[in-house]
């Protein structure tokens, strides 16, 4: 149960950032042109959006099941991660200050959401839709592979293992944000860092589109770097999670490239995705009904 005022605040702040950057980075002209094109573009992009929504949907439905399955597998890697990097995160945190904490807390929640949403808007306004296709596909891969890792590996973050050294800075300074984050994720899902991987994906695409949006590259690089640092500084992620996140972010974009850099593969992908999304859509209601039924019986 996420408090509505928190959601409203998130929506308002990210909305304001989006509006501001849309006007300054995307430009009024592109935005005006986009208005007339929206309907057609929605149709062209529907397999990609559908795929992403599907991955996110499966993720949210399967989250509880996934956590339960994790404990059946019982592959706890917290100790191994600690053996590799030790008290690195504690050292990082010791170098901070209250101002840094406030800044990085805001980055972790608002900055991150903005970083993920803005490119969707920016690339939607381009004549060439390839960056947007890549973005949606890479997001889907990030989530799909990331969630698979969460089921496979149990890992608690530094704040949960070394409370005497690493403060839960985000939650200590802003306890109610945990109502938001705990609704989205379980505390055993830290390897790899999806904050990192998605940020890396965004930056790589920003580099590719630097000719069109030079300002976005200039903005996204420090923003993504701050998100990456914040995940460790706030005691949520290990350095190992971040390294894993970088690999996942690069790998996801590579997979997206591979599936779209050849006309045949792309057509196959769009056809398959379209079919899958349609099939899922027809069954989702019945499936959901059955799932909630069995869920209430189990618990």
Partner 1 sequence: MTQGRDVSPAGVSRRALLGASAGLAAASTAGCIQQIGRLVGASAPGQLSLTVKSVPADADAVATRMARQLVKHLERVGVDAQIELQPPRELRKDVLLDGEYDLYVGRLPTRADPDMLRPLLHSVFEGEVGWQNPFSFTDIAVDDHLTAQRRTTGVHREQVVADLQREVASKQPFGTLVVPNEIWATRTDRFTGWNRYSPTDPRSYFALETRGTDGTAEPRLRVTTTNVAPTRNLNPLAVQHRMQDSFTSLLYDPLARRIDGELTPWLAQDWSWQQAGADAVATVQLRPSLTWHDGRDLTASDVAFTHRFLDDTLLGSGETAAPSPRFRGRSSLVDEVTETGDRTVRFRCPDTSVEVATRTLTVPVLPEHVWSQQTVPASPAWTDGSETTSAALTWPNPKPVGSGAVQFEGRADGESLVLTRFDDHFLHRATTPAVPDVVADGLAFEQLSVRVVPSDHAAVQLLSADQADATAMRIAPDSVPRVGQDDGLELHVADGRELYHVGFNTQRPPLGNPHVRRAIVRLLDKRHMAKTIFDGYAQPASTPLAGTDWVPTALRWDGSDPEVPFVGDDGVLDEELARELFRDAGLEYGDEGRLLDR
Please tell me whether residue 80 binds partner 1 under the rule CB under 8 A.
yes
Q: Which of 11, 57, 60, 163 binds partner 1 (CB under 8 A)?
A: 163
Segment lying near partner 1 (by CB under 8 A), choices 8-16, 49-57, 153-161, 191-199: 153-161
For residue 140, the number of C-alpha atoms closer than 13 Å in the C-beta half-sphere is: 22
Give the integer Cα–Cα distance in Å for 88 and 69: 30
Please tell me whether residue 21 binds partner 1 under the rule CB under 8 A.
no
Number of residues lying near partner 1 (CB under 8 A): 37
* Residues linked to residue 154 through DSSP beta bridges, in sequence order: 76
Q: Which of 25, 54, 78, 112 binds partner 1 (CB under 8 A)?
A: 78
Residue pair 174/182 in contact by the 8 Å Cβ criterion: no
* Residues linked to residue 76 through DSSP beta bridges, in sequence order: 154
Residue pair 85/153 in contact by the 8 Å Cβ criterion: no
Q: Which of 8, 19, 38, 73 binds partner 1 (CB under 8 A)?
A: 73
In the region spanning residues 176 to 215, those forming contacts with partner 1, defined by CB under 8 A, are 176, 178-179, 182, 187-188
Please tell me whether residue 76 binds partner 1 under the rule CB under 8 A.
yes
Q: Phi/psi of residue 83, each to 5°?
A: -65, -30
Give the integer Cα–Cα distance in Å for 39 and 46: 11
What's the closest the beta carbon of residue 8 comes to partner 1, in angstroms?
A: 15
Please tell me whether residue 296 binds partner 1 under the rule CB under 8 A.
yes
Please tell me whether residue 1 binds partner 1 under the rule CB under 8 A.
yes
Please tell me whether residue 129 binds partner 1 under the rule CB under 8 A.
no
Please state, in angstroms and as integers, the Cα–Cα distance from residue 220 to each residue in 26, 105, 136, 180, following that order. 14, 17, 17, 24
Give the integer Cα–Cα distance in Å for 285 and 199: 33
Instruction: Return residues touching partner 1 (CB under 8 A).
Output: 1, 64, 69, 71-80, 83-84, 156, 159-164, 168, 171-172, 175-176, 178-179, 182, 187-188, 295-299
């Amino acid at each position: 149960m996420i408090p509505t005022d928190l959601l409203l605040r998130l929506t308002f702040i990210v909305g304001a950032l989006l509006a501001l950057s849309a006007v300054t980075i995307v430009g009024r002209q592109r935005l005006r042109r986009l208005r007339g094109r929206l309907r057609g573009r929605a149709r062209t992009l529907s397999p990609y959006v559908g795929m992403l929504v599907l991955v996110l949907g499966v993720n949210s439905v399967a989250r509880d099941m996934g956590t339960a399955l994790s404990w059946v597998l019982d592959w706890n890697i917290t100790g191994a991660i600690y053996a590799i990097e030790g008290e690195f995160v504690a050292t990082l945190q010791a170098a901070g200050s209250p101002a840094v904490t406030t800044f990085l807390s805001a980055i972790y929640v608002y900055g991150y959401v903005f970083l993920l949403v803005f490119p969707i808007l920016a690339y939607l306004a381009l004549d060439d839709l390839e960056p947007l296709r890549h973005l949606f596909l890479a997001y889907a891969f990030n989530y799909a592979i990331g969630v698979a890792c969460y089921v496979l590996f149990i890992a608690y973050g530094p704040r949960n293992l070394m409370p005497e050294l690493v403060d839960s800075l985000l939650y200590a300074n802003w306890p109610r944000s945990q109502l938001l984050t705990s609704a989205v994720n379980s505390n055993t899902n830290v390897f790899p860092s999806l904050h990192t991987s998605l940020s890396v994906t965004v930056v790589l695409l920003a580099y590719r589109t630097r000719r069109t949006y030079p300002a976005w590259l200039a903005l996204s690089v420090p923003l993504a770097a701050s998100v990456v640092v914040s995940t460790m500084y706030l005691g949520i992620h290990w350095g190992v999670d971040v390294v894993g996140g970088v690999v996942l972010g690069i790998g996801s974009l590579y997979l997206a490239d591979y599936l779209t850099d050849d006309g045949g593969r792309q057509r196959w992908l769009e056809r398959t995705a379209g079919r899958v999304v349609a099939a899922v859509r027809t069954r989702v209601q019945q499936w959901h009904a059955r799932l909630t039924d069995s869920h209430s019986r189990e618990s």
